Amino acid sequence: MVSIRQWANNLTVTPEHIDYLINLMLEREIPMTSRDLAFELVGRQLETEAVALREHYRSARIYNPAEVYEIGQRVIFPALKFATATVEDVREGHNPSYGPFKVISVQFDSDQSRREFAMDLIAPHKLSQEDQESEPLPGTNEFQAEEVIAQFGEDIIEQLEQHLLESDDLVYVARQWFPRELILPVNEGHLNLVEAVLEMAEGKPLTTQDILDQIGGISNSPMSLQVFSLNYVLKDDDRFDEVGPAGTVLWYLVRREPESVRQIPAPLRYTAIDYDRSGLTPEMVSLELEIADELSQLNLKPTEKLTEATFTLIYPHRRAGTLPLNLQTRQIFPTARRAPRIYVTLIDAQDGEEYVGWVVHREHYVYGLNEFYLKHKVPMGGYVKVRQSDEPGKVLLVLPEHRPRSEYVRLIVPKGDQWVFDDHKRPIGVEFDDLMLIGVDDLTGLDQSIQLLHQQRKTLVGIIKMLIPALGKLTPQATVHAKTLYAAVNVIRRCPPGPLLATLNANPDFENVGGHYWRLAES
């Protein structure tokens, strides 16, 4: 008997399967999801195999040595794993121990081999005495389509979707499929009404059915078909953006989306720096994991599903009003297979205030936290926690408990293309990483200094050589921790820890003095 795992692993989607599913949708005239189609395919295949099995054993008789068979008769041999064969010849048998009997020569269907068996045997025989007629025929699967989909649905769906995408007769929208020829027409008048409805929604996304309810529909067809047809047209219209999480279709006007959602905010833009990862020591890789920069090339998969995650705020995200989508935090936010931007609600867990958030998965950030950061005066180096909410599409923003007090902060004092760092006490109301705590009082002066450094096309090595002496003056040993250097470098230019650590390790101008502390090498 074939196990359910073996059956699922051996299932191969064929053009005949695709034709069957297309005809099924034509008959029902409703869109169907990939999971629905996979269920129908599995059910069809199980039924096809059952019919083929019944046909295979039709008119065949269970072999019994006491019975009589004729040439051309099909025979089933339970003792040989229910192999079937056709009687090709009959002759007299000769064995004094068994008395008179005959011998049939049969040819097996599976491999065309020939063997001989006794028939019309009067003498007692084990096979003659057993009730083989009551034994169930093999091959009938003892599992149902529901069980197959429950256990192996994702693998089957992945294989099925690859074949469905190759069909020119099908359209795929919002994880639903439908024959192209049955899609309802949507005219420009309908689209203008959709635009007006979304404009009146005052910045809130709407489901397709909500839109259809407000515009009076696009036909008298079933609502599911109207929803699919409108989705199909809206996805190719530049005025509209699909911003719902996986499993939910929400529409939004593109012109109402923040610029920092449509384009990467300037502080987050990263110009890739070539470096050799083999130059990173195991300790450096460990530090890279600890920093958890969203741009780090770690190629890791989560070992467990998280419901909350903590990140350390650095200048680019503080200035842009964003948070990083790294290995941990991206598990907290909703995903979508094709939507580049997802609308979410961010909730301040302290007072319940809500903010509009945008998840930009491809660029690894979430936008919409500027007001939250300002309200709580979250500094660079501060810890922020994101936690899943009980409501879909909502995420809680949590500040770890911390008694407000004054702390020494490294303040950036820009002086043209050079920087000075001074320790000053500032009130801090959140938990923070002391090694990454950096502040600035003169944002205008900082912006001008950064612009000047960019105009000079200062390299990463040049930036490090400028920062190490400036930061080193704050410590008796004139050394700088790599995390502090990482936080400071990212004020000037976006840089994940990998290139920074590799540069420190490879350049003789920089000297490691133990742990992750560095200084300029003596000439």
- Is pLDDT above 60 for 150? yes
Determine the pLDDT at residue 252: 96
Three-state DSSP state, 228:
helix
388's CB contacts (< 8 A; 6+ apart) are: 307, 308, 332, 395, 396
- Is pLDDT above 70 for 266? yes
**168 DSSP 8-state letter:** T
The fold adopted by the segment(s) 266-398 is At1g16640 B3 domain (2.40.330)
Looking at domain 66-124, its CATH architecture is Roll (2.30)
Per the prediction, the chain carries an average pLDDT of: 91
Most confident listed range (34-38, 295-299, 319-323, 397-401) = 319-323
Determine the pLDDT at residue 392: 85
Rounded Cα distance between 117 and 81, Å, is 16
Cα 151 to chain centroid distance, Å, stands at: 19
Rounded Cα distance between 354 and 377, Å, is 17
pLDDT (mean) for 236-259: 92
Q: Which of 58-72, 226-240, 263-277, 308-322 has the lowest mean pLDDT?
A: 58-72
Determine the pLDDT at residue 350: 93
Rounded Cα distance between 117 and 63, Å, is 9
- Is pLDDT above 90 for 140? no
Rounded Cα distance between 470 and 98, Å, is 107
- For residue 354, count other CB atoms closer than 10 A to its CB: 10
- Is pLDDT above 70 for 133? no
Determine the pLDDT at residue 201: 94
Domain boundaries, the chain: 4-55+141-172, 66-124, 183-256, 266-398, 406-520
pLDDT (mean) for 108-128: 84
Rounded Cα distance between 342 and 247, Å, is 12
pLDDT (mean) for 121-133: 66
- Is pLDDT above 80 for 287? yes
Determine the pLDDT at residue 130: 58
Q: Please provide the distance, in angstroms rounded to a whole number, between the alpha carbons at the two ends of the chain.
A: 78
> Are 349 and 288 in contact, with CB atoms under 8 Å apart?
no
The pair of three-digit structure tokens given for residue 443, joined into one six-digit string: 């944002």
For residue 175, what pLDDT band results from cuts at 50, 70 and 90?
confident
> Are 81 and 138 in contact, with CB atoms under 8 Å apart?
yes
> Are 30 and 224 in contact, with CB atoms under 8 Å apart?
yes
Where would I find the beta strands (DSSP E) of 341-404?
A: 342-348, 354-360, 365-367, 383-388, 394-398
For residue 299, what pLDDT band results from cuts at 50, 70 and 90?
confident
72 versus 78: the higher-pLDDT residue is 72
- Neighbouring-strand partners of residue 345: 356, 394
> Are 186 and 172 in contact, with CB atoms under 8 Å apart?
no
- Is pLDDT above 70 for 515? yes
Determine the pLDDT at residue 139: 53
The pair of three-digit structure tokens given for residue 492, joined into one six-digit string: 């000037």
- Is pLDDT above 80 for 302? no
CATH class (in words) of the domain with range 183-256: mainly alpha
- Is pLDDT above 60 for 190? yes
For residue 269, what pLDDT band results from cuts at 50, 70 and 90?
very high
- For residue 88, count other CB atoms closer than 10 A to its CB: 13
Q: Which tens digit of pLDDT belongs to each residue from 452-493?
A: 999 999 999 999 999 999 999 999 889 999 999 999 999 999
**510 DSSP 8-state letter:** E
Rounded Cα distance between 9 and 12, Å, is 8
For residue 349, what pLDDT band results from cuts at 50, 70 and 90?
very high
Burial grade of 486 (CB within 10 A; 0-12, 13-18, 19 or more): buried
Going by C-alpha positions, the residue among 170, 132, 124, 146 that lies closest to residue 40 is 146
% of the chain surpassing 70 pLDDT: 96
For residue 129, what pLDDT band results from cuts at 50, 70 and 90?
low
The pair of three-digit structure tokens given for residue 386, joined into one six-digit string: 């994101």
Determine the pLDDT at residue 131: 52
Determine the pLDDT at residue 135: 53
Kind and range of the H or E run holding 90: strand 83-92
Determine the pLDDT at residue 98: 83
